[in-house]
Amino acid sequence: MNMKESIKIVTPIQKLAPLNWLLFISSQSVSAQIPDLDTKVYAKEVYSAGDSRYKVKRFAPQYFIDHAKHFEENLTTHPNTPIWTIAPLNALKQIKILFGFLFILLTFTQGFSQEKESEQEKTDLIEDFEGEEDLAKAAQNPVGDLISVPFQNNTNFGIGTYDRTQNVLNIQPVIPISLGSEWNLITRTIFPVITQPDFFSESGSTTGLGDISFTAFLSPAKPGKFIWGVGPAVIMPSATETNLGSGKWSMGPSLVGLTMKGHWVIGMIMSQVWSFAGQSDQADVNFFLAQYFVNYNMDHGYYLTSAPIITSNWNASSGNQWTVPFGAGAGKIFRLGKQPMNFNMAAYYNIIKPDVGPDWQLRFQLQFMFPK
C-alpha cells in the first residue's frame, strides 16, 4: 500500500538536522511525498472528541505503512481532526529543548519590557539597597520587588539500593512586574537540569531538562508587617527524557507569607498541584510542596539560613509519600564590582523519606541581583 495515497500530510516537512524530521498528519491538509524511514519513531494519537486520551507508543516505520488504511479511516470517522504526530526520538528532544529556551527568552523579555521607572525612583531604590543587610533581606523575600537570577544546585546522596547520587541544577529567574501603584506580580520560573542515576543499578544515569515550573504571586506593592502573595503554580511536561519528568500538565494554588523583624526574615511558601492533561500512560500527579525559611542577618552581609523543602506525593504508597528534611547553612551578600551577589551553602538530612529517596542533600546557590 502506498502511504501517500492513504494519508494526507501537512506541509512542509521541516528538516531540523540530518535524519531529524517532523511531520503532522491531518484530515485538513494536502498530499506530500513521505521520505523513507530507517529509525524507530514515536506516535501520538489525539482525538478531540469523546473520552479518548492520547497514548505514546514506539513503532517501527513499517507499522505506519501496514496500518495506513486504519489511519485514513480514523481521519474520516472523526471530523474534529484527530492528529498523528510522527518524529524520531532525537528530534523530539531538540524540539523540547528549543521550547525551553524560547520560554526563558519570553520570560526575560516580558520582565524587561515593562515601563521604566523615573530616574528619581531608580535613585531611591538603589539607596534603599545600599546596605548588605537590606540586600540580604530583599534576596530572602520571595515576593520582593527585585529582579534576580538564582542558580541553585542540589546534590542528593544515598539514593536507592546502591546509594547513588542525583544532581539538580535549578535556574530560576525571578521577575517582578508592576501592576500599578497598589500591586506587583512576581513571576518565578524554574528550569531544572537533572542528572538522574539508575536507582537500581551501580552505574548508568540520564542528564537533561526536567519539567519546567512557573509561579506567579500577586502581592501588595506596599505591604505591612506581614508580607504575602498568592497565585497559580503550573508544571509543564518539558522533560527531555521520560524518567526526568511526569509527562503531565499540572496546576494548582500557591501562596507565600513572611515577616521581617530586626535581623530576622521568617516565612513559608506552599503549593499543591494536580495533573489535568498529558500522557495517559503516565501516573497522575497529586503533589504538595512546602518550604519554610528562617534567616538571621548579621554584619557585613553574613547570614544564617534554614530553608528545607518538604514534599508529599499523595499518590505514592503508604510510607513513601513524604520527604521531610532538616538542616541549616550560611551565606553572604557581596559585590562583583557594582553587581550585588548572594551566595549560600546548606546541608539537609531527610528525617522522613521514601524507600528509594536520598539520605541527605547538599545545596549551593549563587544569585545575581538587579535592584530596579
Domain segments of the chain as ranges: 3-91, 119-371
Q: Which three cell numbers stand for residue 5?
A: 495515497
Predicted pLDDT at 339? 92
Give the integer Cα–Cα distance in Å for 26 and 140: 50
Residues 6 or more apart whose CB falls under 8 angstroms from that of 241 comprise 93, 196, 206, 208
Per-residue pLDDT of the chain (372 residues; tens, 9 = 90+): 443 333 333 333 332 223 233 333 333 332 333 344 333 333 333 333 333 333 333 333 444 444 444 444 444 444 443 334 433 344 455 555 555 555 555 555 444 444 444 344 444 444 444 578 888 999 999 999 899 999 999 999 999 889 999 999 999 999 999 999 999 999 999 999 999 998 888 889 999 999 999 999 999 999 999 999 999 999 999 999 999 999 999 999 999 999 999 999 999 999 999 999 999 989 999 999 999 999 999 999 999 999 999 999 999 999 999 999 999 999 999 999 889 999 999 999 999 999 989 999 999 999 999 986
Distance (Å, whole) CA 190 – CA 117: 27
Identify the CA nearest to 175 among candidates 320, 370, 314: 370
Protein fold of 119-371: Porin (2.40.160)
User: What integer pLDDT is reported at residue 160 of this predicted model?
Assistant: 86
Q: How far apart are CA 67 and CA 46, in angstroms?
A: 16
Q: How far apart are CA 305 and CA 329, in angstroms?
A: 5
Q: Would you state the pLDDT for residue 199? A: 82
